[in-house]
Amino acid sequence: MKPFAYHQPDQIPAAAKLLASIDDSKLVAGGMTLIPTLKQRLASPVALVDLSRLGSLKGITDDGATITIGAMTPHAVVASSKLVQTKIPGLAALASMIGDPAVRSRGTIGGSVANNDPAADYPAGVLGLGATVITSTREIAADKFFLGLFETALQPGEIITAIRFPVPLKAGYAKFKAPASRYALVGVFVAKFADGVRVAVTGAGPGVFRVPPMEAALSGNFDASAIAAIKIDNDGLTSDIHAEADYRAHLVTVMAKRAVDAALS
């Protein structure tokens, strides 16, 4: 690890100001990706701005038709939240499948969404539910937020403060864990709303994506059998030492079916 300055502001504007005023500064939320990167000397920011003292970024609120989860809420809190378990059980299930207990108690939803790792779980939940990413300056629809490999619509200095999830009629997540890392080799989030179904896939490609043919089929018949024959194209999917692209494509269908089953169970 190389030396860096460390700031722990207690107000969002102060955090934003630090971020804007120090070149090459970085936000740290749970640090699950950033700290290992620093330890390996692969990143060397001049300063870290730690969000852990921003109490307003923690917690889960019930807004009726939506629930809002503060950016600094750890995965374990989401997984064990009675509110999330009642209103969007698929999202609580997703949070319970992230990493291991240590990761779930440190890692945060805001950190995960901002990092947009192509194999992270939360992007599938955020996109699958059509959530809204709330930042220090604006609100961004999930469909406009995830731009590709580790890339998001966030501007320099912009801080995610919360994610607002519409409450679906039904939702489920199915994840095929990469055996070593326990990231999603393929993870599929399926959510059924009054006006249609959304299907979001993580792990399979360079970033989270939706599957319109599955959404159309499930909107007509919300049952796993409706999508059993839908194959997605291998093109653009990831091939690595753990899984080849055609296997990932196959798993998208299998996991989508299982996500529907989970949503219905």
Partner 1 sequence: MGNVIGIGAAPKRKEDQRFLTGRGNYVSDIKRPGMTAGVFVRSPHGHAVLRGIDKSAALASPGVIAVLTGDDVADDGLGSLPCGWGISDAKGVPMKEPPFPMLAQDKVRFVGDMVAFVVAETPEQANAGAELLKIDYEVLPSVVGVLEAVRPDAPQLFDDVPNNICCDWELGDKAAVESAFKKAAHVAKLSLVNNRLIGNPMEPRAAIAEYEPGTDRFTLWTTSQFPHVVRFLMGALVLNIPQHKLRVVAPDVGGGFGVKQFHYGEEAVITWAAKRVRRPVKWVASRSEGYVSDRHGRDHVTEAELALDETGKFLAFRVNTLANMGGYLSTFGPNIPTNLYGPLLGGVYTTPAIYCNVKVVFTNTVPVDAYRGAGRPEATFVLERIVDVAASEMGIDRVEIRRRNMIPKEAYPYQTPVLVQYDSGDPVGCLDGALVAADVKNFGVRKAASASKGKFRGLGYSTYVEACGLAPSRFAGRLGARGGLYESATVRVHPTGQVTVMIGTHNHGQGHETTFAQIVSDKLGVAFENVDIVFGDTDRVQFGMGTYGSRSLVVGGAALSKATDKVIVKGKKIAAHLLEASEADIQFEAGKFSVAGTDRIKTFEEIAGAAYVPHNYPLEVLEPGLEEQAYYDPVNFTYPGGCHIAEVEVDPETGTVTLVNYTAVDDVGTVINPMIVEGQLHGGIVQGVGQALFENAVYDEGSGQLLSGSLMDYCMPRADHLPMMKVATHSTLCTHTPMGVKGCGEVGTIGSPAAVINAVVDALSHLGVTHVDMPATPNRIWRLLQNASLPVAAE
Task: Out of 7, 26, 210, 242, point to the residue binding partner 1 (CB under 8 A).
Answer: 242
- Binding to partner 1 by CB under 8 A, coded x per residue (else -) over 21-60, reads -------------------xx-------------------
Which residues sit opposite 11 in a β-bridge?
none
Query: Considering the rule CB under 8 A, would residue 254 count as an interface residue with partner 1?
Result: yes
Query: Considering the rule CB under 8 A, would residue 2 count as an interface residue with partner 1?
Result: yes
Query: Considering the rule CB under 8 A, would residue 223 count as an interface residue with partner 1?
Result: no
Please state the closest distance from residue 97 (CB atom) to partner 1, in A: 13
Nearer to partner 1, 117 or 158 (CB): 117
Query: Considering the rule CB under 8 A, would residue 243 count as an interface residue with partner 1?
Result: yes
Task: Out of 229, 233, 241, 265, point to the residue binding partner 1 (CB under 8 A).
Answer: 241
Nearer to partner 1, 194 or 241 (CB): 241
Query: Considering the rule CB under 8 A, would residue 179 count as an interface residue with partner 1?
Result: yes
Sheet holding 170-177, edge to edge: 170-177, 184-193, 196-202, 209-210
Q: Are 123 and 160 in contact (CB under 8 A)?
A: no
Amino acid identity of 46?
Answer: V
Strands (E), 119-226: 132-135, 139-141, 146-148, 151-152, 160-166, 170-177, 184-193, 196-202, 209-210
CA-closest candidate to residue 205, choices 123, 127, 134, 118: 118
Torsion of CA 215, 217, 222, 228, to 10 degrees: -100
Angle between helices 89-96 and 245-264 (to 10 degrees): 130
Please state the closest distance from residue 209 (CB atom) to partner 1, in A: 20
- Residues found near partner 1 in the complex (CB under 8 A): 1-3, 40-41, 176, 179-181, 183, 241-244, 247, 250-251, 254
